[in-house]
Structure 1
Amino acid sequence: MTLFDGITARLIDTPRLSVNILERAGDDPQTPPDRTVVFIHGNGSSSLFWQEIMQDLPHDLRAIAIDLRGYGGTEHAPIDATRGVRDFSDDVYETLQALGIPSAHLVGWSMGGGVVMQYALDHPALSLTLQSPVSPYGFGGTRRDGSRLTDDDAGAGGGAANPDFVQRLIDHDTSDEAPTSPRNVFRSGYVAPGYTTEHEDVWVESILSTSTATGNYPGDSVDSENWPGFGAGTVGVLNTMAPKHFNVSGIVDLDPKPPILWIHGVADAIVSDASFYDYNHLGALGIVPDWPGEEVAPAQQMVSQTRDVLEEYAARGGEYREIALDDVGHSAHLERPAEFRHALLQVIGYVGHPSEPSPPTEAIILRSAD
């Protein structure tokens, strides 16, 4: 595990499993909850991806990044996808309990956004920062209003994974010889064109920490009479986000409602109203053959669904901000770290502290329910 300066790792034993966390050397374990920020990564990643933003946060905050089960240094326990992402969110809860943290500001990226929304449904949270989050209605197989297209979630779940990418995870492939290599998937999917970094090897290391053991990534599938011929299974990562198992739109009824920051890239190839990881969109493009058409298999409007739910959240008394960044892909915290950092500090109530400099503001599109 490649750790940056000032970042440390340790294992936390919980009643559920052994969990790896990253912390900053020197952070005070007695830091109060309103100064504690917990980072949750997404699919195909680990806590390693959070190291730069952890380094950059003010030193009177406590920063913790947690490896979800089956990723990084956390135990590779199987995932019961029929619970949605609750295996993940319950693991996070038990980890924070073991650390003596009753509540915190939660930051979730991609699938991790779904994890922190589920966490907020089950436990108190001080704020939610959702970076390119999975739609509140899951990944694949729903109409704009969240209703499911088929009873078996055709085209969603474990069967949607690219077999060659899975094999390259197994082979620990660090090359850039094929479009399906983890390195090229990072370049084409995680970030927008033109992004470069001296840390790419670390990000590839993080992707390669994904467990492909039974019950982890990607998960099982079932045969379907509906196009494209497979439906969601019951175990593994991708099935946790199948709409039959996952729906966190109930956050609109939270009481109290924590403030929400939604930050995402306009050029996101993964979470989008036209996602290149959505079988229905790929069918419409002719990449997957025999697409049955828009009426039967429309692309999932992921970003619009998130906006609809957050607008309803605001209508019912909550507060949220949307920041959409031009020329940014799936990883705003890597691609535009200054804007991400400032927005995060603002939602946790830190902006205005004497040690906090004024933020950069260019290329930010801001939408707010108020």
Structure 2
Amino acid sequence: MSDSGAAAAGESVVAAAARPWLLPGVSSQIVATPRLQANVLSAGSGSGLPVVLVHGNVSSAHLYQQTMLALSGPSVAIDLRGFGDSETLPVDATRGLGDYADDVASVLDALGIGRAVLVGWSMGGGVVMRLLLDRPDLVAGLVLESPVSPYGFGGTRLDGSLVHPDAPGTGGGGANPDFVARLAAGDVSTEAPTSPRSVFRAAYVAPGYASDLEDLWVASMLTTSTAPGSYPGDATSSEAWPGFAPGGVGVLNTMAPTVSDLTGIVDGAAHPPIAWVHGELDAIVGDASYFDLNMLGKAGVVPGWPGDDDAPPQPMVAQTRAVLGRYADAGGWVEEHAWEGVGHAPHLERVEEFAGIVEAMRARAAG
């Protein structure tokens, strides 16, 4: 563990948690672009096709350090706006994941990276799919790690159609207020199931996962900005259960199904190879996700659930499999890796195996 003062599990809430630190072999720099000041981690060297890693929600690039060190060639990991050490700027959620994708593209342009293998985890999987839509010139290959569904998060049926036009139960109003408060307070404890450390253990990884770097992973989560326009985002009212719908700014609203449809990758001009990696014990992105308000209603956690006809849980994995199947039919190469005993973070739970998939994609994309 670093000497940065990272707190051990079980401590009380602290006002200023330790910042995430760098592992030996990883460096960082601030890259200035016309869009933002972005923090970028770098590792490896050589002239091979670079790997660009994009983290997910409530995390930062620091969670990809083990992957970067396990790769044989050059890699960079980018802190998205409002995460890690990048600039905190409001997110225009009416553009779906467009702000994040444009930010990543601006960093790659500033670094002179014209073509790369893009790795996206969870929300980051949606960001790299959006990049394939908006900047296909940058994408030599994709590794989608536990990606958000191409139809967004919550509120849709298997075919991607909206259950209700305003997508009630999705977006910024779905965040647990106590979890948000504990993020803002820098809580490193395990005193509540809503503490970031407890959420990491229960939802990010499968039961049985243990690492002496857990303090680093929690410190990374705690870099999440809870400023207005950042995490989780605002909400609007809805006449349908559970009474709220997505707002126009903030992280969770970028993945609302009203604004986030990434299925255009099927009919796009470019079809780079895709490797899809996900754990069969994923508690966040799954066909019965307990981060889906409709699933929580069905389980009796949120009262008043009107039933499967009016508020069905989203079949997230089945949707991704169907869209990637159509992508393959359109000429793209797709490989699925569904790992038993693994949760939402395959890159943490099976470091070397995950890095091997990225290396294989680098070789395929370069060839």
TM-score of the aligned structures, taking structure 2 as reference length:
0.92
Match of 2:121 in 1: 109
1:55-84 residue CA offsets vs partner (Å, 9 max, x unmatched): 1111xx111000000000000000000000
1:27 is displaced (CA, Å) by: 2.4
Query: Using the alignment, how far apart are the partners of 1:214 and 1:256 within structure 2?
Result: 37
Residue pairs, 1:1-370, within 5 angstroms:
1-24=20-43, 27-28=45-46, 31=47, 35-58=49-72, 61-123=73-135, 124=137, 125-349=139-363
Three-state SS of the structure 2 residue aligned to 1:64 is strand
> In 1, Cα distance between the equivalents of 2:176 and 2:351?
30
Structure 1 runs not aligned, ≥5 long: 354-370
Task: Tell me if the contact between 2:142 and 2:274 (Cα under 8 Å) persists in the aligned partners.
Answer: yes
Cα distance in 2 for partners of 1:150, 1:11 equals 42
Q: Which amino acid aligns with 2:274?
A: I
Amino acid at match of 2:243: G
Question: Displacement of 1:213 after TM fit?
Answer: 0.4
How many angstroms does 1:256 deviate by? Answer: 2.3
1:149 deviates by: 1.0
1:98 offset after TM fit, Å?
A: 0.3
Deviating above 3 A after TM superposition, structure 1's stretches of 4 or more consecutive aligned residues are none
CA distance in 1 between partners of 2:121 and 2:85 (Å): 18
Aligned partner of 1:234: which letter?
G
1:315: Cα distance to partner?
A: 0.7
Indicate the residue corresponding to 2:4 in structure 1. Answer: none
Question: SS of 1:228's equivalent?
Answer: coil
CA RMSD in angstroms, aligned pairs only: 1.4
Amino acid at match of 1:67: D
SS in 2 for 1:45: coil
Q: Percent identity?
A: 54
Aligned-partner Cα distance in 1 for 2:27–2:114:
22
Q: SS of the residue aligned with 1:73?
A: coil
Q: Distance in 2 between matches of 1:305 and 1:333?
A: 22
**How far apart, CA to CA, are the structure 1 residues paired with 2:108 and 2:67?**
20
Q: Is the 8 A contact 2:67 2:352 kept in 1?
A: no
In the TM superposition, what whole-angstrom CA distance separates every residue of 1:138-161 from its partner, at most 9, and x where no partner exists? 001000000011121100000000
Deviations 1:317-336 (A, max 9, x none): 11100000001000001101
TM-score, structure 1 normalization: 0.92
The higher-RCO structure (CA 8 Å, 6+ apart) is 2
Gaps of 5+ in 2: 1-19
Partner amino acid for 1:257?
H
Q: Distance in 2 between matches of 1:228 and 1:133?
A: 25
Confirm or deny: 8 A CA contact 2:51 2:116 kept in the other structure: yes
Rounded Cα–Cα distance in structure 2 between residues aligned with 1:219 and 1:250: 26
Distance in structure 1 (CA, Å) of the matches to 2:150 and 2:316: 8
1:237-282 per-residue CA deviation (whole Å, 9 max, x = no partner) reads 0000001110001100122210000000000000000001000011
Letter in 2 for 1:216: S
- Counterpart-to-counterpart distance in 2, 1:273 and 1:243: 16
